[in-house]
Structure 1
Amino acid sequence: MLTPSPKKIRYFTVALLLLGLFLVACQPSPTPESTSGSVATAAPSRTPKPTPNTNLTSIPGVTHVPTDTPDEITQSCCADFRIAILQAPTTLNYWRYLGEDNSRWTGFVIGDEAPSLYEYSASRIATRPDIVPALALDLPPAGEQRQDFWVIPVKMIESVTWSDGEPLTAHDVVFTIETVFALQLGETWSDFYPAQSLAAVKAVDDYTVEFSFYSQPGLSEWQYAVALGPILPQHFWQPYVDEALANLADVPPPQTCDGILTETQQAACQAYAKARRSLYAVEPVSPPSGGGYVTAGFTSDRTIRRKLNPYFYAAGFKISEYANGAWERVFPDGTLQQFYGEPQGEPLLSYHRGPFNRSIEFSIYESDVVAYDILAKGRVDYVLNPDSLTDEWLRQTAQASEIEAYTSAQNNLAYLAFNLRRAPFDRLEFRQALEILIDRERITQKDLAGLAYPADAIVPQQNAFWWSPSLGSGEETLSPQVRFETALQILKVAGWSWKTEPTWDPITQQIIPGVELRQPGGDPMPETNLIFPSAASDVLMAVFGQEIADILTNLGIPVVAESLEREILVNRALIAGGSFDLYILDWRLPLYPGYLCQLFTSTNDTLLTGGYNTTGYNNPSFDALCDPFLLEPEAQTAQKLAQQMQNLLAADLPYIPLFNPQVVDMMHTNVILPYSPIFGGLASSQGFQNDTRVLNK
């Protein structure tokens, strides 16, 4: 359990969001990929390294799509957008999707149907945060104190309608939030609309919604939670909600459903669970959409069709973003809005909002081999795969005619974690020496053929506003010999020694391994267990695992290197808690770095509280920054706090950041994207269903 601050905020608010950029994975916490696998296999430290395909450097990447659409594109636009996905959505019910479902495949199909007041901008710029208006007319207001509450009014675009022509108003916002509260909807709903900080919501008029918080909300409660929250149509869902609420007549709302409960409490919890099941059981047929398309439903067991929404509120908007941080929106009637300063110079990107295509057809292929074969044969336009391609299919699909490759950085972090509860991994100089010896630049560019970017911080560098620029140290320029000599010096100064000291061979330019590394005080280094994903689970992390095992061996450390199926590794490192010396895993991250607190505060220690702090990291200076960061209402101040936290983590090294993977999206050349590259890949924007043009061939 997370230990709440005095304001009872949640440390981790929202996962990757679409609507423009909506939910990729609706997780209230950073979640490592989980893959069922076979029994773990042990690998000695000198087994041959798994190697990805290295003949990939010629795959093209698109860096910019022109602002002005050529006449020939306009004249030949637009066909149906045929998308292959690798799993079927589990529901078309948005309440269930963000409640008990949370399948990213469901999100790819219906995620954009629920609009929001605000959304993420397309670009990541160091000088401004990434929140921009969607249905709202202005940036998120700061609000003001009124009696016992902090009140934030938001004005909405007028005359917006749902796909069935019914008005989309502030009353829909109120209905959505009050339903979340009345049924005590959990999971991602409670992350968007946290009842512990959001006291009430009301419609001042049809196009002004007013939020009342118990106290001034921080970014984690307002801009990156409530402001991004999905909105559902009251006129469609009210009868189903009323039916669910009928289960709660004369039932007092339970304060908790955890722990030992009285009979009355148990009955209340059961009644609320039944009410939620009633709402989640609804499988709607073409529910009204506030996005560019309406999900008509399954046309066969393996096909889902979405039809164009002629009433999409953002259709025809022109969006432009500039290097100085300026963001511009031009309405179809010529109304111009500019935020984050006056534009300077040419735009980084500029595009028109759709929808452009007649319909979207999802075909479900549960094998990526089949899906990419179908793509190469021209029977689909794009494979929406958040995990990118395997090396084999990356190579083969890239060689197919009329296929374009789009390369982007994923918002994922692969890392090496230390068990700081055990000696000698609790010694800083040991972690410092190992970090210097891990040449992330060489491994990512040579061993991994450029399929990943070396990581220098917990927050990826591409997440520019939140990344700490002081961590771009230039360490990547150090030669292997300098790395070795620096690491040796760090250990020696701290009192480490060897039976036989490792040395540098100037002829082979390699380390001659040492024998029996001894800790300060003379005790030999104990046998060290390093666990990492198998090549079948993740070839990139497997390569790093073998490289690090070799480094430890060269230092004179007895190593047991185990490459495990991901599910087994997750259980040992994250669930069992503390059952490791060193491990390698990855997190899929949201844009807002609330995960810094989730992963590293002492109150989230896995062994003590069941939290996500697997390493046992405990630094009061770091802990002291977390509540101020999460409760800070001003983005620029929060940015500085996030950078301070990253700097502390870089100094203390509970994790060594290893790499941020690439994602390579493949699609036919008749598919015209509004812009690229896209941080997180096309999956982070649902394949650009709203704004992509698919030309008639």
Structure 2
Amino acid sequence: MKKLVLLGLLLVGALLLATQVNYGIFADITTTNVWNLLGAGSTSWNFAVQLWKYPSILGMNKDGMLIPAAATEIPKLVKEGNMWTVTVKLRRDMRWSNGAPFTADDVVFTYTTVKEMKIPGGNWSGAYEPEKVEKIDQWTVKFYFKEKRTIRIFYDTLMTTIVCSNYWKPIVEKAKKQKDPVKWLLAQEVIDPGITALNLGKIEKGAFAQVTKQVSDDKYWAFGEKSIYYKNGGFAIVNPKTGFRWQSDNPKPTGPVDLEVVNGPYVNTIVYKIYGNKQVAIQALIAGDIDYIYNPVGLTAGEAEQLRGQKDIKVVSNPQLGFRYIAFNMRKFPMSVKEFRQAVAALVDRDFLCNQVLQGRAIPLATPVPPANTFWYNSAVKTIGEGLSMGERYQLAVSLLKKAGFKWDVEPVIDPKDTKNPVKTPGKGLRGPDGKPVPEIEFLSPGMDYDPMRAQTAMYIEQWAKNIGIPIKLKLTDFNEIVTRAFDEVNFDMYYLGWGIGRIPTYFRSFFHSAEMAPEGNNTPGYANPEFDALIDEFEFADNFEQARKAIFEAQKILAEDLPYIVVFTNPMIEAYRTSIKFPYETVLGGINNYYGFPENVRKVQ
């Protein structure tokens, strides 16, 4: 009997000790400052390690339903005189990790600071919308808007990240006394409180970033809170500890439960180990050194095959919310010429790239809305050159360049009937309409180690362009270099990156609206089209989702014509993890990656 008791104690001890999980990532976190994190520092790696710790007023569940986060309910948009207002009742049970209660002061401070100090970055754009954010009482906030931007208000402004005022207020006040207040504020590398029990711990550049449990279960307000998904589509939030409850109105939760997620955290530590490339990370996963590979571009089919059948490893696939794209710097010649952009786009044979080069591992995409996001995706939008042979594509590209007044020292000769070698005479010495030689165009792309899908397709695109005399020079380089040059310095010709996106295409404003120019915003191409801007405004002002959908469908058509981006492809999000850990769910649009590996809900299995 004593042996059985002792064995039981040993097993319990093992479970208590097994409270660390290890994730693999591929780049250092570059900032711990939330104001910068959502501005120029908005990289996937920074988000994965930190973004989940901050609250917002509203959120969305895994099925895309609008739900309260820090609010007690979904508020109403009301006309008051010449203003539109939203009054938000806040939850009274939420606490920051430093013990301070979450109150109206945090909400007012965040929105006011962003707007008064003009904090840059597209991820802060929603905070600029209200004319005023007013504290009614400790648990009530009122937003005032000049315009009825329904979609933008609910899916952007009210989803803005909120910071802890009692931590940040003295730092912001000090910043205001500096010569360059915003620059000084964004330079402060501090670890601030979050609304979760986990927060950043030790960081060792080039090696790892550590997240640790800093609030005990008995003191953590959200420990044990349930998110309940019903088979009829209804949803409910129940917190047995604090008594908070909310349920959806349409539909109301009835009948059997499909999924119940009980909030943790269930581990004391998450270590994000930094690997130089995916193959090293894959070997670490196989060896058991890490439990999950966080990667915003997922695994290739070959990498997934390498992991299938490995002991204690599971491979999962989900539709992805995201896309890979080529951006043009439209401030510079010749990228400023629409026909030049169209000519390059005409050469990009997505079907060949996805089905031949990438062997079916990617899905050709014409718009910034992936097909899996069915409500917002305009399947009628076609790409320039779609359905043409490669020879016909060359022919179309040459005609587009000629239309804009470009000439060659040696004009390319194309035989569109020759399916093997349609370029009979390669183009040389491309000159602009002014007769001057077109300068070499630098094309930045991540390398093979980071994303072989982009690297491989970029090589083909470079060669296709050179075949007709477009002087594109590919540079495979570090991910962070591309981000810095594109978003901070705006010093590029063309680059090849990808976006992870939300279900509601509010990102159309951030990426393409003329009011969101980089470096302050995310419009890196410098795209400015009044017709497009008007459609985005219409989308945001829409009274209902059908109106908003019609505007976004039209906006997709314009982008396919103007081409600030060449949207190249999307692909299934293929991921892998060790069966020694358990996620609350794994079948979800965008994949486990879209939830940063569920830091508060991942469990260690013994």
Question: Would you call these one fold, judging by a TM-score over 0.5?
Answer: yes
1:151 maps to a residue whose letter is T
* 8 A Cα contact 1:82 1:362, kept in partner: yes
- Report the equivalent of 1:305: 212
1:297 maps to a residue whose letter is G
Matched, 1:186 2:119: yes
2:508 maps to a residue whose letter is L
The higher relative CO (CA closer than 8 Å, separation ≥ 6) is in: 1
Q: 1:80 aligns with which of 19, 28, 33?
A: 19
CA, structure 1 residues 400+510, in 2 after alignment: closer, same or farther (shift >3 Å)? same
Q: 1:197 aligns with which of 130, 136, 141?
A: 130
Please tell me the root mean square deviation across aligned C-alpha atoms, in Å: 5.2
2:290 maps to a residue whose letter is V
Equivalents in 2 of 1:473, 1:275: separation in Å? 45
Equivalents in 2 of 1:480, 1:197: separation in Å? 51
Matched, 1:380 2:290: yes
Q: Secondary structure at the match of 2:264?
A: coil
- Report the equivalent of 2:508: 596
Matched, 1:294 2:198: yes
- Report the equivalent of 2:8: none
CA deviations 1:374-407 (Å, max 9, x no partner) are 3222233223333545888666555632111233
1:358 positional shift: 3.8
* 8 A Cα contact 1:578 1:614, kept in partner: no
CA, structure 1 residues 159+446, in 2 after alignment: closer, same or farther (shift >3 Å)? same
- Report the equivalent of 1:133: 68
Equivalents in 1 of 2:528, 2:182: separation in Å? 38
Equivalents in 2 of 1:99, 1:616: separation in Å? 17
CA, structure 1 residues 295+471, in 2 after alignment: closer, same or farther (shift >3 Å)? same
| 1:401-440 paired onto structure 2 within 5 Å | 401-408=311-318, 409=320, 411-415=322-326, 417=328, 426=337, 435=345, 438-440=348-350
| 1:14-413 paired onto structure 2 within 5 Å | 80-86=19-25, 104-123=44-63, 131-145=66-80, 147=81, 149-161=83-95, 167-174=101-108, 176-177=110-111, 184=117, 186-187=119-120, 191=124, 194=127, 197-204=130-137, 206-207=138-139, 209-216=140-147, 218-219=149-150, 222-232=153-163, 238=166, 240-241=167-168, 243-244=170-171, 247=174, 269-270=178-179, 272=181, 276=185, 280=188, 283=191, 287=193, 289-291=194-196, 293-295=197-199, 297-298=201-202, 303-306=210-213, 309-310=217-218, 311-313=220-222, 315-320=224-229, 326-331=233-238, 337-341=247-251, 350-355=259-264, 357-368=266-277, 371-388=281-298, 396-398=306-308, 400-408=310-318, 409=320, 411-413=322-324
Matched, 1:646 2:551: no
1:502 positional shift: 0.6
CA, structure 1 residues 273+432, in 2 after alignment: closer, same or farther (shift >3 Å)? closer
- Report the equivalent of 1:445: 355
Q: Secondary structure at the match of 1:444?
A: helix
Equivalents in 2 of 1:453, 1:653: separation in Å? 19
CA deviations 1:458-489 (Å, max 9, x no partner) are 2333344433243279997x484896699599
CA, structure 1 residues 579+103, in 2 after alignment: closer, same or farther (shift >3 Å)? closer
- Report the equivalent of 2:497: 586
Q: What's the TM-score once normalised by structure 1's chain length?
A: 0.65
Q: Secondary structure at the match of 1:684?
A: helix
Equivalents in 1 of 2:501, 2:389: separation in Å? 34
Q: Secondary structure at the match of 1:186?
A: coil
* 8 A Cα contact 1:120 1:131, kept in partner: yes
* 8 A Cα contact 1:604 1:612, kept in partner: yes
1:466 maps to a residue whose letter is W
Q: Secondary structure at the match of 1:223?
A: helix
Matched, 1:468 2:403: no
Q: Secondary structure at the match of 2:585?
A: coil
Equivalents in 2 of 1:636, 1:374: separation in Å? 47
CA, structure 1 residues 179+473, in 2 after alignment: closer, same or farther (shift >3 Å)? closer
1:495 positional shift: 12
Matched pairs, number: 571
Percent identity over paired residues: 22
Matched, 1:624 2:564: no
Equivalents in 2 of 1:433, 1:345: separation in Å? 56
2:195 maps to a residue whose letter is G
* 8 A Cα contact 1:85 1:383, kept in partner: yes
Equivalents in 2 of 1:495, 1:191: separation in Å? 38
1:548 maps to a residue whose letter is I
Which sits farther off after the overlay, 393-402 or 221-230? 393-402
Equivalents in 1 of 2:76, 2:531: separation in Å? 31
* 8 A Cα contact 1:216 1:633, kept in partner: no
